[in-house]
Amino acid sequence: MSKVLVKNGRIVTAIDDYLGDILIENGRIDAIGRSLDVADAEVHDADGLLVMPGGIDAHVHMETPMGNGVETCDSFETGTRSAAFGGTTTIVDFAQQFKGDSPKAALERRLAAAEPQCNIDYGFHAILTDVHEQALSELPDMVNREGVSSFKLYMAYPDVLMVDDADIYRTMRKVGDHGGMVNLHAENGVVIQALIEEALAAGNTSPKYHQLTRPQLMEGEATHRVIRIAELAEVPVYIVHLSAREALEAVVEARDRGIHAFAETCPHYLFLDNSEYDRPGFDSAKFVMTPPLRDRECQEALWRGLRFDDLQVVSTDHCPFCFNEKAHGLLKSKQVGHDDFSKIPNGAPGVEFRLPLLFDGGVKGGRINLNRFVQLMSTAPAKMFGLFPRKGTIAVGSDADLVLFDANETHTLSAKTHHSNVDYSLFEGREVTGKVRKVFLRGELIVDGDQWLGRAGMGQFQKRSASGRVL
């Protein structure tokens, strides 16, 4: 492969911030210096731009079946292209085991679907929904050979995805023995189910009841409970899509006692609040994701958590369903639940807007500094999920996944201009400062302004190491 030289940029990592040039050879960073001159290199001038490691989004759901034929509306191809335009060069999606299924078989299915399509690098967390002996026996190989070192369990959605506390404990012991990480969707699923049944019995079917039946207290309770189970099992635990103040308090309390509890939040919890559910008619179905949007106090608590490292990662939980059925059919749309909030597919889009939103609201907004921004977008997820130092930093020997970012360009977020299949945005019309100008994946320029230069299938599966050992 030819040499690529990125010159005159302001190189920003989770700890550094300096002017320099980056020489790329064979997809890796070969040298970093103050003034590099290489005769046969393709040169990109980054004067006036930030040069940061490519974003890592550790929580996305591309072409994911949700049961009853419902599926997210981005394929691996469209979803990863959209991610790339937003400065993300690696995603970690999910390989879901169905009841009676083998986790390895689930991984093989997802690998087969992803491989010809992905435009950026990718990995998978395994989802376990049926913790039988055979499934548990496959986990060591998943960690040590397959490069799947994190396992997601659900405390929500009884009879579909939920596993009980004993299964959580058993999985934690097995995964922990091999240095893996357990990710938890922490909500008290059975109490929430009772609340849903109560609401429906009273004739309350509109989307706002999604929020009213998933209270903050039940996220806090489940978060506290599962951290205690992890403490007993002596394994690190990672809480996905943390949204409620009560859940954050449980994480902070555990971390203060030296427990290895970690958590991510998502842009929608940082920038939006539960007043969105007051929208008239079915429009508020656009905001039906789990957990639901919370109050303003939670928002402030989450920002504080990011600032002081009570929260370590910001992922999108990109789980897109169109609002209108015309775009990609009823089964990829929110309209499935038009007459019953409990049938609205849970999930919201956002993979393209994570960097611009966090830069604008976080760095420009004075809530986090630039190094912390890089840490949240790239370095921390790389370390948390066994991709570091191949990914997540700018260093000699690391993959040349780079984002050239204009810190001063203002633009408007909109579904009219984004690259996802989804037909709406949670952030429609929001003006932000900070725009992705160029994106390199292992040294290849894949985004140049509005131009797409990537190729379906160029993304590579990333075998991840067992990060639970080193955290």
Q: Least distance in Å: CB of 161 to ligand URP?
A: 8
317 touching Zn ion, by CB under 5 A: yes
Q: Least distance in Å: CB of 319 to ligand URP?
A: 4
d(CA 192, CA 219): 10
Choice between 317 and 352, CB closer to Zn ion? 317
Q: Hey, CA dihedral for 12, 13, 15, 16, is it positive or negative?
A: negative
Interaction partner, residue 185 (ligand URP, Zn ion, none; CB < 5-8 Å by kind): ligand URP
Interaction partner, residue 346 (Zn ion, ligand URP, none; CB < 5-8 Å by kind): ligand URP
Number of residues lying near ligand URP (CB under 6 A): 9
Choice between 293 and 402, CB closer to ligand URP? 293
* Per-residue mark of binding to ligand URP, 173-202 (x: CB under 6 A): ------------x-----------------
- Of 293-332, binders to ligand URP (CB under 6 A) are 317, 319
**Residue closest to Zn ion (Cβ):** 317
Q: Least distance in Å: CB of 76 to ligand URP?
A: 16
Q: In degrees rounded to 5, what are phi and psi of residue 25? A: -140, 135
402 touching ligand URP, by CB under 6 A: no
Q: Which of 106, 131, 289, 336 binds ligand URP (CB under 6 A)?
A: 289
Q: Which of 347, 386, 434, 443 binds ligand URP (CB under 6 A)?
A: 347
Q: Least distance in Å: CB of 185 to ligand URP?
A: 5
264 touching Zn ion, by CB under 5 A: no
Q: Which of 96, 346, 393, 425 binds ligand URP (CB under 6 A)?
A: 346
> Under the rule (CB under 6 A), what is the footprint of ligand URP?
61, 185, 241, 289-290, 317, 319, 346-347
